[in-house]
Amino acid sequence: MFNDINEVRLMGNITNDPDLRFTPSGTAVLSFGLATNRRYKKGEEWVDEPTFHNIVVWGQRAQSLAQRIKKGTRVHVAGRLQTRSWDGQDGKKQYKTEIVSDEVNLISRYNEGPSSDLPAASASSKPSSTKASTAEPDMEPPADIDPDELPF
């Protein structure tokens, strides 16, 4: 038997300042938009066709990430696709498809220097990882690893 797969990976720019909210039980929920571009050639001209995605991050990761991202931040997002539904005020069924993210990596562009209006952690040239997982505590890699000894 095969297991089903529901995995999404996107890289793009955040389209709005993130919205951090809390559930009645106190769990943090961070929502933001992400734009990705499909680039193709039409005749002699290159065309960029944007697609807009709704991203949701839960828990402690949501709170941490909310302080490190803003509109325009370039990120890599990994998670699962989910569609929710509810009855609207007009009685009609409403739907929203979102990526429930368990990983968000901040990406620095090669031609950008550190940004003065972002916290230092997200302005470094190394991508920083924010993984949302309630099963594992935050784990930092050991500080004594020599980058020359890594196999990649």
128 burial level (CB within 10 Å; 0-12, 13-18, 19+):
middle
The CATH number of the domain holding residue 72 is 2.40.50.140
Residue 3: inside a domain = no
Query: Does residue 138 lie within any of the structural domains?
Result: no
In a domain, 117, yes or no: yes
pLDDT at 2: 83
How far the first Cα of the chain sits from its last, in Å, is 34
Between 109 and 51, the more confident residue is 51
| pLDDT tens digits, 36-61 | 999 999 999 999 999 999 999 999 99
Residue 41 lies in a domain: yes
CA dihedral sign, ordered 110, 31, 4, 93? negative
Per the structure, the count of domains in the chain is: 1
Look at residue 124 and tell me if it is in a domain. yes
Q: What is the pLDDT of residue 75?
A: 97
Give, for 120, the enclosing helix (H) or strand (E): helix 120-123
- Residue range(s) defining the domain that contains residue 93: 8-132
Phi, psi of 60 (to 5 degrees): -60, -35
In a domain, 142, yes or no: no
Between 118 and 15, the higher pLDDT residue: 15
Average predicted confidence (pLDDT) for the chain: 80
